[in-house]
Every structure is written in C-alpha cells, then in structure tokens.
Amino acid sequence: QTGAVSLAEYSIALEGDQLSAIADAMNAANPDIHAQTVRRLAQSDTGVLAMLRSLLIVITVIVLALTMIGVSTTMIAVVTERRNEIGLRKALGATGRSITREFMGEGVMLGFIGGVLGAGAGYGLAVLISTSVFHRSISLHPVILLGTIACSILIAVLACPPPVRRALAVDPALVLRGE
C-alpha cells in the first residue's frame, strides 16, 4: 500500500532468550504486527561475544600473572636498596614481624594506588571505546570498581612473600660490617 509502513527494523542490544521475549511481547501487545528476531545475527553475535569473553579472561589471567611478577621484582629491588636499613633495624631489635608488616603494608598501599589509577584509566578507556566504536554510553558500577581495587591489592600482597623472605634473611652483622 502506498504511504503505509510495511516494515520496521529495530536494533535492540540483547541476547538469545531476552531478545525473543521482547519480540513475543510486541506480538502480544498488537495483533496487527509480526515481530521477529533476525536469528542469524543474534546467534552470531552471541557466539562472538562468548569468544571475546573467553579471550578477555585468558588475557586478564596472563596480565595478572605478569603484574604479580613485576610487583615482586620491584619489591625485591626495594629490599636490596634498603638492605642497610633492614640490617640496622634488626640490630636495634626489630622483629621479623615488624619488618614483614612494613613490606606487606607497602605492598597493600602500592596495590591500592595501582588499583585506583588502573580502574580510572580502564574506565576512561572503556568510555572512549564504547562511545567511538559502539556509539553507546556506559556507566561506572561501584561493585566492579571495588572488585578491581581489591584484586589489585590481592595481587600486590601475593607478590610480597619472596621479597619479605629476602628482607628477613638479611644478616645484621654482615650489613653493619659493610659486606
């Protein structure tokens, strides 16, 4: 019919059953229309998203492992630089527990600062990609923000035991003699 709408297409960002439920609700609301999903696109989008999620999980695990190695190496360098200070503290009666607390506290603080900076940079990058590539806005979820910071602190704490063992192994007699 001339001048009448015979076909309308909508893009709805949902997957699988959710998308079918919307189409069913539209059909039930108005018997004059026939809403249907374009199955090939919906199924292909679901498959691509599943593969991307798997890839991101693998990349995340690799990055976390490399980050833990980097933090551990940095903390070992800090212990090496502060070897004289550690030896002097031990000679003056510092316990292994106080030295452990000091380095673990530094690890927690570094993890917190890195988590906050990383979460901020990640959110900024996600907003940039989302708006420029997908033309959609995103919101910041506090649970994800807190989880990111907690994960960063956990990685830093898990990276601290090797440097702490090295700090506890410092012999004050050798340090005070200058060896």
Residue by residue, pLDDT tens for the chain (179 residues) are 677 777 777 777 776 778 788 888 888 888 888 887 775 555 566 677 788 899 999 999 999 999 999 989 999 999 999 999 999 999 999 999 999 999 999 999 999 999 999 999 999 999 999 888 888 888 889 999 999 999 999 999 999 999 999 999 988 888 888 76
- What pLDDT score does 77 carry? 93
Alpha helices for the chain (secondary structure H): 16-29, 39-81, 83-91, 96-133, 142-159, 161-168, 172-177
Place of tokens 């990349």: 59
Integer angstrom CA distances of residue 156 from 1, 35, 68, 131: 68, 52, 7, 32
Other CB atoms within 10 A of residue 107 CB: 25
For residues 148 and 63, is the Cβ–Cβ distance under 8 A? no
In the numeric block, the tokens 């551990």 are attached to 72
Residue type, 1: Q
Q: Write the DSSP symbol of residue 31.
A: T
Residue 132 to residues 44, 126, 127, 138, Cα–Cα distance (Å): 22, 10, 8, 12
**pLDDT given for residue 44 in this prediction:** 64
